[in-house]
């Protein structure tokens, strides 16, 4: 029986980092968006979706599970795979990656994120509903085509983008990226194997 099944896995504590996005509007700084990320490198590297951190004029703040916050620097954006890496100071324990190629239909997974950009470390439970899906995801005026993504019925709400999809062993198998508006229980995640080598190369 896994640590998740026993209810004792510590993964969720630090896995759904909030990433609010701010812009300067005249003399005021206003929040204009939010997403989720998780630590993938010991020296403060945080993975999220590119569409969460695509605005080069915005300021990104990382809200950690202990209540602290830091300004983050975007160090890498990948439009094709819809991922971005942010960096903060300090040392942290990164997540462990699983093998997304070994996923099976009906396999249980957890989606972790900040639902609606407000509710930190929200966890939804679901299964793998489909593999190798090709989708078109819209974010504002931009449409992205993503190939070979994972379909899950675990709830992926607004603000969850960039959060991890996790297997029962507490290993990240996907990066939550999109949901179908107006439908229930149809969400999509980028398989971690598609970007694992990029992440490891950029965080060394």
Which pLDDT belongs to residue 100?
Answer: 98
pLDDT digits (tens, 9 = 90+) for 152-164: 999 887 778 899 9
* CA–CA distance, 150 with 7 (Å, rounded to integer): 25
Annotated active-site residue in 100, 122, 124, 161 = 161
Please count the helices (runs of H) and the strands (runs of E) in the chain: 2, 12
What residues pair up with 110 in beta bridges, in sequence order? 125, 166
Interval 29-35 mean pLDDT: 57
- Between 128 and 55, name the one with better pLDDT: 128
In this prediction, residue 38 carries a pLDDT of: 93
Active site residue 161: yes
pLDDT band at 139 (very low <50, low <70, confident <90, very high): low
Identify the pLDDT of residue 25: 45
Domains along the sequence of the chain with CATH? 100-203 (2.40.10.10)
**Average pLDDT over every residue of 3-24:** 52
Average pLDDT of 99-128? 87
Residue 197's H or E segment, with its range, is helix 196-202
Taking residues 185-194, report their average pLDDT: 93
pLDDT in tens, 82-112: 999 999 999 999 999 999 999 999 999 999 9
Helix (H, G, I), strand (E, B) or coil at 12: helix
Of these residues, 51, 122, 167, 189, which one is catalytic? 51
Distances (CA, A) of 91 to 42, 46, 59, 65, 197: 5, 12, 22, 15, 21
Q: CB–CB of 57/22 below 8 Å?
A: no
CA distance 128 to 123: 16
pLDDT at 26: 47
Tell me the β-bridge partners of 134.
none
How high is the pLDDT of residue 14? 52
Given the residues 82, 124, 129, 167, the one annotated as active site: 82
Mean pLDDT of 46-65: 87
| Percent of the chain at pLDDT exceeding 70 | 79
Whole-number pLDDT of residue 21: 55
Active site residue 82: yes
- For 5, phi then psi, to 5°, come to -65, -30
Name the one residue in this structure whose structure tokens are 């099976």. Answer: 104
* Mean pLDDT along residues 180-191: 82
Per the structure block, which two tokens stand in for 25?
């509007």
**Known active-site residue 59:** no
* pTM, entire model: 0.84
């Amino acid at each position: 029986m896994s640590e998740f099944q026993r209810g004792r896995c510590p993964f969720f504590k630090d896995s759904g980092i909030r990433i609010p996005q701010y812009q300067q509007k005249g003399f005021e700084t206003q929040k204009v968006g939010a997403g989720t990320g998780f630590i993938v490198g010991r020296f403060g590297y945080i993975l999220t979706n590119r569409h969460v951190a695509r605005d080069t004029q915005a300021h990104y703040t990382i809200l950690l599970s202990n209540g602290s916050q830091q300004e983050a620097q975007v160090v890498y954006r990948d439009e094709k795979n819809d991922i971005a890496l942010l960096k903060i100071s300090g040392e942290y324990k990164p997540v462990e990656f699983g093998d997304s190629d070994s996923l099976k239909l009906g396999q249980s997974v957890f989606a972790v994120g900040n639902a609606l950009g407000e509710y930190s470390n929200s966890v939804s439970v679901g299964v793998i509903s489909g593999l190798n899906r090709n989708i078109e995801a819209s974010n504002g005026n931009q449409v992205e085509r993503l190939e070979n993504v994972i379909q899950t019925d675990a709830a992926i709400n607004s603000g969850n983008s960039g959060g991890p999809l996790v297997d029962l062993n507490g290993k990240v198998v996907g990066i939550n990226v999109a949901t179908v508006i107006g439908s229930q229980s149809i969400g999509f995640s980028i398989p971690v194997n598609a970007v694992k080598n990029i992440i490891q190369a950029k965080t060394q």
